[in-house]
Structure 1
Amino acid sequence: MSKYADDVLIIGAGLQGCAIGMFLARSGWKVTIVDKGVPGRHASGVNAGGLRLLMRDVREYPLSMRAMEMWRNLDRFVDPSAVQSCEVRLGSSQIAIALDEAEMAWVRARHQEMLRRGYTCEEFIDPHELRRMLPGLADSVLGGLISRGDGHANPANAALAFRQAAEAAGAFIHERCALNGLDQNANGRWLADTDVGAIEANWVVNCAGAWGSQVAAQLGDELPIKVLALSMMVTSRVKPFIEPVVIGIDRPLSFKQSAVGSLVIGGGISGKPCLDEGTSFTIMDRMASSAAATLEAFPILAGVPVLRTWTGLEGATPDGVPYIGPSAKHKGLWHVFGFCGHGFQLAPAVGEAVAHSMVNDSIHPLIEPFNTTRFSRIHSAQL
């Protein structure tokens, strides 16, 4: 079987790939998306669903602010009937807490730096207000930062909503469809060998997530990532006591309480990634450190049982922000991966900006900081 995608082939049908595909299809492009597994199985669908500006790298702030606007108006981008299932809860806040003097010094410095840059959404919060908002908080907490407009969503349902929106716009999605080879002919067109046959396209967008660096390397682009198996766990239900998402500064702390009362706990703990097998496993000794950080902040939760754990594969770049931009070596090739565990919130704006850049043949300003040549430029400057 042969499939000709006259405009673009997207590798990876996670949230980023589907968002890009949706916007390109709505611009009239013919879009085909292939995914070697089940779309949303890894980083897109198994994360904590955080919608935050809080503590982002300043390079991500403009893109994240646009994304937040899009999440607030999600019915403009996905089918309105799917919006409720996405469970977008903005305005419930995200709070970063300082548990020692070193973290508190960082909070003060961060607050002043963000004000200097003109960003006012990260507010200083004192211990009195923290304890009012977070019942059961440890007495050792010294203060923190709060972003009151932040919140969370359901990642699995959001990934599905963007997939459905891409398909409704005309994109073809092939799941469990491996990319076996990719070549560019003398005319600049790409020919992909996939499990559904040959796919020919003018453009290729590498949204392969944890596999993104491998895809890039096959084409001569060196874009290093560290593969992580970011782990999550969920507890049994407890009486509702907290609305904001709570995150740590130097500790592996990240948790929220679901609508049914269970606690969803993350914190950036990596399990064991098995990239070649397309799977990953939790490492319980490491999960214990995440649980310990939660108990340090909320000792009242001691004894609450953990019901299950899970992981999803993700790629982390050396400088903590993603690769988003065209290849330096191949015309018609884009790389969009390496979101370091915090790409969920960014996805709508990434899709919009990448599609705008490709359609208009001009890099959108919001994604300029994430160009794929930034490390080679640093190396050249050092020489």
Structure 2
Amino acid sequence: MPRQNETALIIGAGLQGCSIALFLARAGWNVTLLDKNVAGRHASSVNAGGLRTLMRDWREYPLSELAMEHWRHLDRLIGAKAAESCEVRLGVGQIAVALDEAEMSWTLGRVQEMERRGLGAEELLSATEVRKMLPGLTDQALGGLVSRGDGHANPAASTRAFRQAAMAAGAKIVENCRVLGLERLPGGGWSITASSGQYEAGVLVNCAGAWGAEVAAMAGQTLPLKVVAPSMIVTARTQPFLEPVVIGIDRPLSFKQSAVGSLVIGGGILGKPCADHDTSFTVMDRMPEGAAATLEAFPALAHVPVLRTWTGLEGATPDGIPVIGPGDGTPDLWHVFGFCGHGFQLSPAVGDVVGRSLVSGTVDPLLAPFSGRRFNAGDAA
């Protein structure tokens, strides 16, 4: 893969795009990011900010562990003041709660599978242990899994910090710039026709998130992607009682308590995506499902009122892991999208590994599971 004169255009200035831009710019590349809205407007800023290795797909695990090293030492990557603004809290742990026999059986199988693969630091918890770690947890809980090094961060602040670091390194960001067409240049490289003008570079990186498949199609490449709108709930403030992030196994359960005491509840409840209009809407009839899962685990929270909800647009692949790598037959066009709602934690590792791959001219082995060619081979399992 030739280095194409060390110039890159990145479509999408969310967290993944800004992270890649940061590493490339620091390697001396000339980098421009184009964003159809405001940088970080969609999935990057409106997720729950989970820093989770717990229950990752085993194919993501090595990349996730590298990402966690970057989060632990974020000051080295973006500076001490910026890192402080991201409100990174590692070591509070993430805990998956088993509320029935089937979920408990799954946790046992998960631990055995990860041990067989030599991956992870997930610990099996008994009913007594999980209730001790989670005050107020229902007596029906049978156990769970914990990853003690996990935690969370502020997603909007982190997106801003990575954007500012990329710009400080020399990357240029053009907002409200809608890509209208792509053209491969003779001899390699790409020309982009956009609403704000014409752009050219040796390498094109497609970090378009929910619109990633549309950008790929402009280059004549077909990649499967479903546009989804994950929803979040925020409650009124309540007395601090919880440090770990709690997630479900088969239930739509995911929540944490913020520093001010409010509960931030996710769990995969979907809103209505309107990608053609760059927006999404909460489907209120679906929200009680997420609240019910929380109350099943923590019945004492029934009195806590909900204050607001929100959604964000995201792209999901058929097999639940992202597409990261060069396009089929286009070493100068990379696709980096389809993070399925769990790309926030991976972002610094994605920037690191994609950046190193482009600079060296060799695709890093960590990215092998994420090649879009797996869909051409019919492997979406």
Match for residue 285 of structure 1?
285
Q: TM-score, normalised by structure 1?
A: 0.96
Contact residue 271 and residue 282 of structure 1 kept, 8 A: yes
Cα shift readout 1:221-243 (whole Å, capped 9, x = no counterpart)? 11111110010010000000000
| 1:1-383 correspondence runs (5 A) | 7-378=7-378
After TM superposition, the runs of 4+ consecutive aligned structure 1 residues lying more than 3 A away are none
Cα shift readout 1:71-118 (whole Å, capped 9, x = no counterpart)? 000011112211111000000000000111111110110011111222
Distance in 2 (CA, whole Å) between partners of 1:37 and 1:108 is 45
Where 1:378 maps in the other structure, the secondary structure is: coil
Structure 2 CA distance for partners of 1:240 and 1:229, relative to 1, 3 Å = same
Give the CA RMSD over aligned residues: 1.3
Distance in 2 (CA, whole Å) between partners of 1:300 and 1:75 is 39
Distance in 2 (CA, whole Å) between partners of 1:169 and 1:118 is 37
Distance in 2 (CA, whole Å) between partners of 1:305 and 1:128 is 29
Contact residue 93 and residue 149 of structure 2 kept, 8 A: yes
Q: Which moved more, 1:302-311 or 1:177-186?
A: 177-186
Task: Point out where structure 1 has 5 or more consecutive residues left out of the alignment.
Answer: none
Q: Among all aligned residue pairs of Structure 1 and Structure 2, give the percentage whose two residues are the same amino acid.
A: 65
Distance in 2 (CA, whole Å) between partners of 1:370 and 1:378 is 14
Shift in Å, 1:329: 3.1
Shift in Å, 1:188: 1.9
Distance in 1 (CA, whole Å) between partners of 2:155 and 2:354 is 21
Q: TM-score, normalised by structure 2?
A: 0.97
Contact residue 63 and residue 349 of structure 2 kept, 8 A: yes
Distance in 2 (CA, whole Å) between partners of 1:210 and 1:53 is 23
Where 1:260 maps in the other structure, the secondary structure is: coil
Q: Which moved more, 1:322-331 or 1:227-236?
A: 322-331
Q: Which moved more, 1:357-366 or 1:236-245?
A: 357-366
Contact residue 189 and residue 204 of structure 2 kept, 8 A: no
Contact residue 188 and residue 331 of structure 1 kept, 8 A: no
Where 1:68 maps in the other structure, the secondary structure is: helix
Q: Which moved more, 1:66-75 or 1:76-85?
A: 76-85
Distance in 2 (CA, whole Å) between partners of 1:217 and 1:269 is 29
Task: Point out where structure 2 has 5 or more consecutive residues left out of the alignment.
Answer: none
Where 1:216 maps in the other structure, the secondary structure is: helix
Contact residue 226 and residue 316 of structure 2 kept, 8 A: yes
Distance in 1 (CA, whole Å) between partners of 2:294 and 2:6 is 51
Which one-letter code corresponds to 2:340 in the other structure?
C
